[in-house]
Amino acid sequence: MQDFPEFISFKCGIYIEVFVKWLLDNFMGFFDVLNEGVLMFLLKAEAFLLWLPWWCLVLLVFLLGWRFRNLRAGILYAFLLSLIGVFGLWQLTMSTLAIVLTSVVISLLLGIPVGILMSHHAKLEVVIKPILDAMQTMPSFVYLIPAIMFFGLGMVPAVFATVIYALPPVIRLTNLGIKNVPKEMVEASYSFGSSSWQTLLKVQLPQALPTIMTGINQTTMMALSMVVVASMIGAKGLGYEVLAGISRIEIARAFDAGLSIVILAVIIDRISQGIADKYKIPEQ
């Protein structure tokens, strides 16, 4: 009586496997084209970051910190970024930044339009919310399996596994930001003859911008948190250094790479939050 009855059994994983195999059999050409496009963008982003002199990036971080925080913050962020070069991990950091940048760009291209659609269609929101819940609670390692099946090993499957994991925050917060725009402002826009498209671009999105920026911030943080997991399927960069340090019990190697990831996360988080605060509309 203590064991669950064996005759009551249902496993949904087999249906997901059948669906994935069906996609592979019927849309492999599409995935090949997608793979080539993402890889081209990824390699160009990496090449640009590696071509850029280190002091230019440090100066850019200083200016952004000064502009959106304060002078002291700009100096601190520039110093922290310089530490990565001192650790001898600058090139690996640029590879990691290229993967994160590509993942975030794809996430924003998908997430912001979906969030906008959710805010305007209640039925669509009911359907998508459970999917987002599953995407956020599913162990991140699970995403590596379909990514490998569709794109093989390398940086591209790492990007798509990262996108799946990092996509929900920007969708949720875009939806939330637009829905929280005061109805009076939307009604006033319509009363002055604005179309739905004009109301979205000139009223709702500007009002929701701080919330959307917070979503972008959270998506970026989640993309950074995937770099070690993504290194298991061929992604280069700091994540691979952490993984190699763990597998070989090289504490110093893993610590330096892990600390560099933390530094990147802190800098990106503070600057993006500063941008969100800068454009926050003061309460009346």
Q: Give the CATH number, domain containing residue 99.
A: 1.10.3720.10
Residue 13 lies in a domain: no
Residue 80 lies in a domain: no
Q: Which long-range contacts does 145-150 make (Cβ < 8 Å, 24+ apart)?
A: 146/20, 147/233, 148/233, 149/20, 149/24, 150/20, 150/23, 150/24, 150/31, 150/35
pLDDT score for 208: 87
Residue 20 lies in a domain: no
Structural domain boundaries enclosing 226: 25-53+89-278
Determine the Cα–Cα distance for residues 270 and 70; give it in Å rounded to an integer.
11
pLDDT score for 283: 47
> CA angle, corner 130, sides to 4 and 166, nearest 5?
115
Residue 186 lies in a domain: yes
pLDDT score for 140: 74
Q: How many CA atoms lie within 13 A of 147 on its CB side?
A: 25
pLDDT tens per residue, the chain (284 residues)? Answer: 567 777 777 777 788 788 888 888 888 888 888 888 888 988 898 899 889 899 999 999 999 999 888 889 899 999 999 999 898 899 999 998 998 999 999 999 999 999 999 988 888 889 998 888 888 888 777 777 777 878 877 888 888 888 888 899 999 999 998 988 888 888 888 887 778 888 888 888 888 888 888 888 889 888 888 888 888 887 788 888 888 888 888 888 889 999 999 999 889 888 888 887 776 654 44
Residue 43 lies in a domain: yes
Residue 58 lies in a domain: no
Encoded amino acid at 266, one letter: V
pLDDT score for 189: 84
DSSP string, 201-261: IIIIHHHHHHHHHHHHHHHHHHHHHTHHHHGGGT--SHHHHHHHHHHTT-HHHHHHHHHHH
Instruction: Count up the domains in the chain and report the number.
Output: 1
Determine the Cα–Cα distance for residues 260 and 263; give it in Å rounded to an integer.
5
Tell which residue, 228, 225, 211, 216, has the closest CA to residue 271: 216
pLDDT score for 203: 85
62 φ, ψ to 5°? -60, -45
Determine the Cα–Cα distance for residues 222 and 241; give it in Å rounded to an integer.
19
pLDDT score for 171: 93
pLDDT score for 59: 94
Residue 70 lies in a domain: no
Residue 76 lies in a domain: no
